[in-house]
Amino acid sequence: MTQPADTLLQLSAVGKRFGGLVALSDVTLHIKRGEIYGLIGPNGAGKTTLFNILTGLYFLDTGSFTFDNNSYTRCPPHRLAQAGIARTFQNIRLFANMSALENIMVGRHLRTRTGIWGALTRHAAARAEEATTLQRAYELLRYVGISCPAHTLAKNLSYGEQRRLEIARALATEPKLLALDEPAAGMNATETASLKTLLQAIRAGGITVLLIEHDVKLILGLCDRVAVLDYGKKIAEGVPDEIRNDPAVITAYMGGHAT
């Protein structure tokens, strides 16, 4: 299959069932390099299932997806991370008993290689790599705007900082696509505004962003294009203005028939 060179992620007729429940059916969409792409839809629409497929936590039943011109239809999580897809979670999943700094350093695991031999002998290359990892981790902490001491355990960070730490950990894997599952959930207006600034900075840094969000104002104000899922089907796709006025979207959100 040929696709335009600026397509980073292409989903073709993706389907996933859990027993009798159809979580996703026939979802086709593509995400271009450098855009912020939003995914919205009512609860249970299949948004998180889609994320789990993209990151290898689930395998899709039908269809296929390509990323950066390679097919990754049935790939374990670490291969997809290697390919350049990183994500955060709707319910925060940090390594709670490791420090903020260490959480980011684990994120660097993929891009470093010192094994048991280096750990035991601590030869020059291993120490240099460790120093780089540490330096990069400090940079990312600053980049996402975490101000508390770097050695604070992740579980003791404030809620907003935990969300930022998850983003920093995902960035540490040097992704091409950053997939964020409801990053603004539970945030107040100020926190949401600074999150928006952070995501714009990340995109300006050359990373494509895929965003699931319930905060419709944030999505429509931030994204270049938006897709709407309902009951596992894509019911609309377009620029924010088109989505705002799409009768199918209004029906899905408000219930009943749009008049």
Partner 1 sequence: MDILLQQIINGLVQGSVYALVALGYTMVYGILGLINFAHGEVVMVGAMVALSITQVLAGYALPPMVVLLISLLVASMVCMALGYGIERIAYRPLRNAPRLAPLITAIGVSIVLQNLAMIIWGRAYHAFPPLLPDSPHIIAGAIINEVQIAIILVAVVMMTGLLLLIHRTRLGRAMRAVAENPAIAALMGVNINAVISITFMLGSALAAVAGIMVAANYGIVHYYMGSILGLKAFTAAVLGGIGNLRGAMLGGVLLGLIESLGAGYIGDLSGGFFGSNYQDVFAFFVLIAVLVLRPSGLLGERVAERA
Asked if 130 is part of the footprint of partner 1 (rule: CB under 8 A), the reply reads: yes
Asked if 27 is part of the footprint of partner 1 (rule: CB under 8 A), the reply reads: no
- Closer residue to partner 1 in complex, CB, 94/252: 94
Are the C-beta atoms of 9 and 3 separated by less than 8 Å? no
Asked if 78 is part of the footprint of partner 1 (rule: CB under 8 A), the reply reads: yes
Taking CB under 8 A as the criterion, the residue among 10, 55, 66, 208 binding partner 1 is 55
What would the DSSP string read from start to end of the chain? ----TTEEEEEEEEEEEETTEEEEEEEEEEEETT-EEEEE-STTSSHHHHHHHHTTSS--SEEEEEETTEE-TT--HHHHHHHTEEE--SS----TTSBHHHHHHHHGGGG----HHHHHH--HHHHHHHHHHHHHHHHHHHHHT--S-TTSBGGGS-HHHHHHHHHHHHHHT--SEEEEESTTTT--HHHHHHHHHHHHHHHHTT-EEEEE-S-HHHHHHH-SEEEEEETTEEEEEE-HHHHHT-HHHHHHHH-S---
Asked if 112 is part of the footprint of partner 1 (rule: CB under 8 A), the reply reads: yes
In the numeric block, which tokens belong to residue 152? 């604070």
Residues touching partner 1, count (CB under 8 A): 34
**Least distance to partner 1, CB of residue 95, Å:** 5
- Closer residue to partner 1 in complex, CB, 105/144: 105
**Least distance to partner 1, CB of residue 209, Å:** 17
**Least distance to partner 1, CB of residue 107, Å:** 5
Taking CB under 8 A as the criterion, the residue among 2, 97, 188, 259 binding partner 1 is 97
Segment interacting with partner 1, rule: CB under 8 A, options 1-9, 52-60, 156-164, 195-203: 52-60
Taking CB under 8 A as the criterion, the residue among 6, 59, 71, 119 binding partner 1 is 119
Taking CB under 8 A as the criterion, the residue among 53, 86, 187, 218 binding partner 1 is 86
Residues of the shown chain interacting with partner 1 in the complex, contacts defined by CB under 8 A = 55-57, 76-78, 81-82, 86-87, 93, 95-98, 102, 105-107, 109-112, 114-116, 118-120, 129-130, 133, 169, 173
